[in-house]
């Protein structure tokens, strides 16, 4: 009886494994939203390479999904994108979570007026404070408050968890391979952009 029960258990697990494989194959054969769009476009335009179009469209669609999740994270913490970037800059670029207003403005490529408006809002929310530069009375430093540090830490951590969840369908090896391929494409694009900039100057 024991041997028979073990045999049945083995068969049961094998059956589940086969069914799982069948479902994975079925999902792959069904395709995604991009497959259907490409089929329509390719039927009208011979110049389109379906494989290239598939990569571009999937990157675009995934980016939209990630951005939607990011916007939800920001909204949950009462931030907009510009405020998030400013708080993150204070955390990542300095050891004391403090930068001069000028350096912060240049690093974020903001005009003095736009920087002032952003700092006003963040200071009103008690996420940053302005302090005098001890070396220059006319200078102003922007300092992250304890509340600001708590907010940016939570926002970054929650968004990271969302992104990890999205890409959890890939193994570590697949993630590494995907990064390698995307890095190759991005490096080529950035080299072209640099070349065009030099030619224009």
Q: Which stretches of the chain are assigned E, i.e. beta strand?
A: 98-100, 128-133, 136-144
Residues 161-181 pLDDT 10s = 999 999 999 999 999 999 999
Q: Is the pLDDT of residue 143 over 70?
A: yes
Helix-then-strand count for the chain, H and E? 8, 3
- Spatial contact of 73 and 158, defined as CB atoms under 8 Å apart: yes
Residues 29-86 pLDDT 10s = 558 888 888 888 888 999 999 999 999 999 999 999 999 999 999 999 999 999 999 9
Per-residue confidence band for 95, with pLDDT thresholds at 50, 70 and 90: confident
**What is the pTM for the complete model shown?**
0.75
Q: What is the mean pLDDT of residues 129-153?
A: 89
Q: Which residues contact 54 (CB under 8 A, 6 or more apart)?
A: 34, 35, 38
What is the pLDDT, as a whole number, of residue 12? Answer: 45
Q: Give the torsion through C-alpha atoms of 176, 181, 182, 186, to 10 deg.
A: 130
The H or E element spanning position 43 is: none
- Express as a percent the part of the chain with pLDDT over 90: 63
Reference 142, options 81, 79, 90, 95; nearest CA is 90
- Express as a percent the part of the chain with pLDDT over 70: 85
What is the pLDDT, as a whole number, of residue 7? Answer: 52
Instruction: Calculate the alpha carbon distances from 124 to 16, 39, 110 in Å.
Output: 58, 52, 20
DSSP 89-100: HHHHS-SSSEEE
- Most confidently predicted of 7-16, 19-28, 66-75, 135-144: 66-75
Facing residues of 91 across strands?
none
The H or E element spanning position 25 is: helix 2-30
What is the pLDDT, as a whole number, of residue 40? Answer: 86
What is the pLDDT, as a whole number, of residue 185? Answer: 96
- Spatial contact of 141 and 99, defined as CB atoms under 8 Å apart: yes
What is the pLDDT, as a whole number, of residue 135? Answer: 74
């Amino acid at each position: 009886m024991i041997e028979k029960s073990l045999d049945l258990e083995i068969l049961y697990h094998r059956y589940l494994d086969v069914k799982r494989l069948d479902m994975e194959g079925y999902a792959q054969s069904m395709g995604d939203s991009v497959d259907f769009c490409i089929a329509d476009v390719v039927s009208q335009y011979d110049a389109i390479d379906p494989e290239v179009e598939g990569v571009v469209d999937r990157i675009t669609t995934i980016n939209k999904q990630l951005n939607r999740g990011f916007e939800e994270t920001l909204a949950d913490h009462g931030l907009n994108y510009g405020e998030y970037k400013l708080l993150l800059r204070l955390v990542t670029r300095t050891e004391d979570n403090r930068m001069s207003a000028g350096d912060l403005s240049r690093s974020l490529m903001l005009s003095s007026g736009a920087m002032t408006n952003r700092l006003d809002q963040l200071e009103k929310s008690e996420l940053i404070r302005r302090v005098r530069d001890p070396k220059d009375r006319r200078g102003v430093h922007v300092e992250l408050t304890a509340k600001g540090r708590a907010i940016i830490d939570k926002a970054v951590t929650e968004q990271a968890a969302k992104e990890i969840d999205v890409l959890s369908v890939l193994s570590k090896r697949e993630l590494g391979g995907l990064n390698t391929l995307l890095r190759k494409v991005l490096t080529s694009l950035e080299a072209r952009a640099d070349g065009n900039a030099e030619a224009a100057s």
